[in-house]
Amino acid sequence: MSPKLSRRMFLAESGMLVVSVGALSASNPFAAVANAQTPGQYPDPDFRELDSWIVIHQDNTATFHVGKTDCGQGTGTAFRQMMSDELDIAYDKTTCIMGSTDNTVDQGGSGGSDAIQTDGWPMRRVAAEARRVLLEMAAAQFAVPVSALAVRDAVITVKADSSKRVTYGELIGGKRFHVALTGRNVDATTGVASVKAVQDLRFVGQPLPRYDIPAKVDGSQKWAVDVKLPGMVHARNVKPPQAGATLVSIDESSVRSLPGFVKVVSKGNYVAVVCEREEQAVAAARRLKVDWQKPATAPFPASDDLFTFMRAATPTSAQAPVVQGNLDAALAGAVKVVEAEYDVPFQGHTAFAPAHALADPSNGQMTIYSNDMKSYGMRNGVAEFLGMPREQVRVVWTEGPQGYGRTAADDAGFEAAYLAKEIGRPVRVQWMRNEETGWDTKGPAFAFKLRGGLDAKGNLVALDYSARAADYNHVGYNEADTVLIAQLMGVRKARPAAGSAGTPTELYEIPNRRLTSDVVSLPLAFETPLRTGNLRDPNGPQIAFASESFIDELAAAANADPVEFRLRLLTAGTTEDSGFKRARSIAVIKAAAEAYGWSPRTSPKPRDTGTILTGRGMAYAIRSQTVVAEIAEVEVNRQTGHVWVKRLVCAHDCGLVINPLGTRRSIEGGMLHSLSRALHEEVTFDTEKTTGVDWITHPSLRHADVPARIDVVLVNGDPKPDRPDLPHYGAGETICKPLIAAVANAIYDATGVRLRRVPFRDARVLAALKAARV
Amino acid sequence: MSVTLKVNGGTHTVDVDASTPLLYVLRNDIGAVGPHFGCGLGQCGACTVIINGAAVRSCVTPCSAVKGEITTLEGLAKNGALHPVQKAWIEEQVPQCGFCQNGQILNAKVLLDRHPNPTDAEIREGMNSTLCRCMTYFRVQTAIKRAAVLLRAAGPESEKGGAA
């Protein structure tokens, strides 16, 4: 056994120990993992070795090691279903280890809704390869050809003589495969074996319950926030009180006599206080006297003036326009031209638990316990940031609050590592609520302008789309030169990321089109709480809000039913597209309409006479290969402006569904997250700082907002729905795209008032209703 | 100062500042890590514990002010059997990331103690200040109704559930 594997297996086993330790045990459940930081390097598990992926145990069970993290969508359960099927082992005889950099291959952690669509394939192929190798071993043992063998539930039998049987555990339990795989990168990893036909999969397609849920319900789950290490201390940040403020001086005497005080650490504009106990660090960070110099010019306009500023700004970059036909001529010849502008503010991740991490600097190495969804990237970034060899750094991925992209969990990991190196003791960093809500990365604000031309028959013959995003210096994941601590220390990326605005993904057939998009910068591009980063289908919800609201405006102008209008634009297409997305678009729109009970008519409907106005709206979108149509039914209170989304319908086609229960749950959560963005969420700021800093000043969806009914229809709109190679696409982020538009369209249907500015808070809706004399 | 707390049937004496939030003492000194830090402001419910039958936000409760027996999520199961609310939560597959579920479960438990057969309006109002950013609200509400059925089926003994 090589030192590399023995280390990996030891860690794998100690990782499993964590699960079995009682929650109230006086012993430290993480001691085993923590003590594993002995001198020596942390290897990179080699994706070209079968042993990096699958371990068969003597008791005929299997452990799958995958380079992914799960932010709550149940992907671990889905991976086990896929790999159990290909390996031919019962699902409940398997376990899955995810996300830690030294005992799983680097599959990038989470991101891009690609866990099933991309990373599921190498998992299936390596499990199929393990099955092939085991069958060959059995064939040699029984001196028969492989074709004479049958395998089920990890037991291989000779077909002609069922007394001849051997288990996977007997063949290789506790030993290594020593089988090389091939592939130019981890996504392409493969052995010799082929994957099974869809029809031969037993666990895939079943609504199996998630294996991680019981521990999250009985309190035994160990989260990243629960890791305790001997000698650990607690840190709290002291952030600049105004965006762009410069540190002048720190009066350490203001906290030196406080109980448990360890140290004030500062460099550039980064300031943290470290104390022995958590509550001491909280108190010291509040008490520390720091002199800051306000910036000479305002870092940004107030949020009320944001869109005026953006529309007047000079772009920092522009994406190449997409041009089709002759837009100007088509608009000039149109019978009716419709124009509209739409605004979407900055919206945050505002994770339920503020960012946190614990870093252990012992033995000249660095272990970071983090829930960051890209643990592998954090390892590389922290090594670069601290100037340490990456072999000396590892990230132990441990569960945490939801991650929908580039969250502040990245920042906290770097801060903990930096402070741990400075102090020489394990340091736990925990952001406070105001930091998380105020300083987390934001989804960019958007200002749109659209024009559309209809011919005499009400056909859409011209579309002019232009999008502008406040997205300059968009921060990447775990980058040593863009994480917040680096920026505050004065690090400046040589070429800040240009950012992007983006264009719609729908497959409407419009003969004359021009799609343009550009990016603008706010005055302060660095060290700003309005830094942008990927947020759950980056840009998709904003773009779909504008484009799918506008399609409804055009349908109304054409006196057409909104569903019929969309189907007309889709069926007009004749070119085929990858993955039959047009056919699948038609299928999901029809499925959503059918599930809702949609009867064709134009919007708005004749206005109700009472206080409550009701209406319905639909929108559809594509991300990658997944197609989604959503319908919202709303009640609008004419006197208060309050919007209640009473019912939601989603028709969703992600190809082969691995776990329909998990998919439905993800769809429900994704729609309600977008509903929160539609109704409540906006990052507010004055000309110095963000002013939404908690759940009162930055509201989020609550129990009282929840629809009375949610219908989810899983659609297989493939032209050959039973084909044995039906692909599995990424189910997640597409869900978030169309919902804001569906709600806006429903409000229009109910009231005849078009809301073109997100979010649809009571006061904004009421003002719009009053302006329209509703 | 020395503070003595009764937690999940055990007694713990800790030497901490009297103003220390109960949450930190539970998590860092006693090892009851079911309650979570979510806001430190009493706004989200992540830190909920049950004291004298009431849902209490431990992040804004000084540890020295606590007089009654504290039940945390870990203490809800009795003799190895999950509380009906927990059973309903697993049957409905409620959690997404799961980080807020301590608050959802304990607030639901207290709600059901007071309203054994809650209406939709009572559930919405009773749970409205318990937040979830994965937006599991819909199935939390479904699970509360399921738990109400399980509690009635289990009879009055089980209804008391847990130590609270």
pLDDT for res A39: 66
Q: Is B44 on the interface with A (CB under 8 A)?
A: yes
Q: Is B5 on the interface with A (CB under 8 A)?
A: no
**Distance from B39 to chain A by nearest Cα, in Å?**
5
**Distance from B118 to chain A by nearest Cα, in Å?**
14
pLDDT for res A505: 86
Confidence of residue A402 (pLDDT cuts 50, 70, 90): confident
- Put simply, the answer to whether B95 touches A217 (Cβ < 8 Å) is yes
User: DSSP string of A36-102?
Assistant: T--SSPPP---TTBGGGTEEE-TTS-EEEEES---SSS-HHHHHHHHHHHHHT--GGGEEEEE--TT
CATH T-level fold of B2-74? Ubiquitin-like (UB roll) (3.10.20)
pLDDT tens column, A685-699: 999 999 999 999 999
pLDDT for res B146: 98
**A681 token code pair:** 């969420």
Q: Which of A24, A694, A702 sits opposite B39 (nearest CB)?
A: A694
**A503 token code pair:** 């264009």
Q: Is A646 on the interface with B (CB under 8 A)?
A: no
- Is residue A653 scored above 60 in pLDDT? yes
Q: What is the mean pLDDT of chain A?
A: 94
Confidence of residue A38 (pLDDT cuts 50, 70, 90): low
Closest alpha carbon within chain B to A675: B135
pLDDT tens column, A524-569: 999 999 999 999 999 999 999 999 999 999 999 999 999 999 999 9
Confidence of residue B112 (pLDDT cuts 50, 70, 90): very high
Contact between A648 and A712 under an 8 Å Cβ cutoff? The reply is no
- Is residue A4 scored above 60 in pLDDT? no
- Is residue B162 scored above 70 in pLDDT? no
Pairing mode of beta strands B54-57, A62-66:
unpaired
A511 SS3 class = coil
CB contacts under 8 A, A 397-426 vs B, are 399-402
- Is residue B160 scored above 60 in pLDDT? no
Q: Is A693 on the interface with B (CB under 8 A)?
A: no
Average pLDDT, integer, range A304-326: 97
Average pLDDT, integer, range B69-84: 96
Contact between A741 and A545 under an 8 Å Cβ cutoff? The reply is yes
Closest alpha carbon within chain A to B131: A702
Q: Which residue is listed with tokens 């729109």?
A: A589
- Is residue A25 scored above 60 in pLDDT? no
Q: Is A695 on the interface with B (CB under 8 A)?
A: yes
CATH T-level fold of B84-159? DNA polymerase; domain 1 (1.10.150)
pLDDT for res A422: 98
- Is residue A11 scored above 70 in pLDDT? no
- Is residue B37 scored above 50 in pLDDT? yes
Average pLDDT, integer, range A688-716: 98
Question: What is the SS3 string spanning A406-435?
Answer: CCCHHHHHHHHHHHHHHHCCCEEEECCHHH
pLDDT for res A31: 40
CA distance A659 to A656: 9
Average pLDDT, integer, range A151-168: 97
* Higher-confidence position of A112 and A219: A219
- Domain covering A562-771 in this structure, CATH number: 3.30.365.10
Closest alpha carbon within chain A to B127: A703
Q: Which of B101, B134, B141 sits opposite A703 (nearest CB)?
A: B141
* Higher-confidence position of A75 and A112: A75
Q: Which of A214, A223, A665 sits opposite B90 (nearest CB)?
A: A214
Q: Is A702 on the interface with B (CB under 8 A)?
A: yes
Q: Which residue is listed with tokens 């594997």?
A: A5
Amino acid at residue number A446: F
**Distance from B164 to chain A by nearest Cα, in Å?**
16
Q: What is the DSSP letter of A344?
A: E
- Is residue A33 scored above 70 in pLDDT? no
Annotated domain spans of chain A = 3-211, 225-296+355-431, 562-771
Q: How far is CA B30 from the centre of its chain?
A: 17
Cis, bond preceding A759 (omega within 30 deg of 0): yes
Q: Which positions ≥6 away from B8 have C-beta within 8 Å?
A: A24, B32, B70, B71, B72, B74, B75, B163
Question: What is the SS3 string spanning chain B?
Answer: CEEEEEECCEEEEEECCCCCEHHHHHHHHHCCCCCCCCCCCCCCCCCEEEECCEEEEHHHCEHHHCCCCEECHHHCCECCECCHHHHHHHHCCCCCCCCCHHHHHHHHHHHHHHCCCCCHHHHHHHCCCCCCCCCCHHHHHHHHHHHHHHHHHHCHHHHHCCCC
Closest alpha carbon within chain B to A430: B37
- Put simply, the answer to whether A209 touches B89 (Cβ < 8 Å) is no
pLDDT tens column, A448-501: 999 999 999 999 999 999 999 999 999 999 999 999 999 999 999 989 999 999
pLDDT for res B154: 87
Class of domain A225-296+355-431: alpha beta
Q: Is A353 on the interface with B (CB under 8 A)?
A: yes
Amino acid at residue number A391: E
Q: Work out the widest C-alpha separation in chain B, in whole angstroms.
A: 46
**Distance from B128 to chain A by nearest Cα, in Å?**
5
- Is residue A24 scored above 80 in pLDDT? no
Q: Which residues of A touch B58 (CB under 8 A)?
A: none
pLDDT for res A576: 66
Annotated domain spans of chain B = 2-74, 84-159
CATH architecture, domain A3-211: 2-Layer Sandwich (3.30)
Contact between A521 and A313 under an 8 Å Cβ cutoff? The reply is yes
A751 SS3 class = helix
Q: Is B130 on the interface with A (CB under 8 A)?
A: yes
CA distances from A309 to A221, A541, A687, B150 (A): 47, 22, 12, 57
Taken in order A271, A276, A278, A284, is the CA torsion positive or negative?
negative
Closest alpha carbon within chain B to A693: B39
CA distance A186 to A122: 7
Nearest of A321, A741, A324 to residue A510 by alpha carbon: A324
pLDDT for res A37: 61
H or E stretch covering A31 = helix A31-35
Confidence of residue A403 (pLDDT cuts 50, 70, 90): confident
A739 SS3 class = helix
- Put simply, the answer to whether B135 touches A701 (Cβ < 8 Å) is yes
Taken in order A155, A156, A160, A164, is the CA torsion positive or negative?
negative
- Which residue, among B25, B59, B97, B123, would best test binding to A if mutated, counting the most A CBs under 10 Å from its CB? B97
- Put simply, the answer to whether B99 touches A433 (Cβ < 8 Å) is no
User: DSSP string of A345-377?
Assistant: --EE---SS--EEEEE-GGG-EEEEE--S-HHH
Q: Is A697 on the interface with B (CB under 8 A)?
A: no
Pairing mode of beta strands A161-167, A155-158:
antiparallel
Q: What is the ipTM of this complex?
A: 0.96
Closest alpha carbon within chain A to B140: A703
CA distance A299 to A344: 20
Q: Is B104 on the interface with A (CB under 8 A)?
A: no
CA distance A722 to A713: 18
pLDDT tens column, A597-621: 999 999 999 988 899 999 999 999 9
- Which percentage of chain B shows pLDDT scores above 70? 95
Burial class of residue A522 in the structure, from the number of CB atoms within 10 Å of its CB (0-12 exposed, 13-18 middle, 19+ buried): buried
The pTM (predicted TM-score) of the whole model is 0.95
Q: Which of A327-336, A708-717, B69-78, B155-164 has the lowest mean pLDDT?
A: B155-164
A618 SS3 class = strand
pLDDT tens column, A257-300: 999 999 999 999 999 999 999 999 999 999 999 999 999 999 99
- Is residue A12 scored above 50 in pLDDT? no
Q: Which of B30, B90, B137 sits opposite A213 (nearest CB)?
A: B90
pLDDT tens column, A80-118: 999 999 999 999 999 999 999 999 999 999 988 899 999
Average pLDDT, integer, range A361-366: 95
CA distance A213 to A94: 16
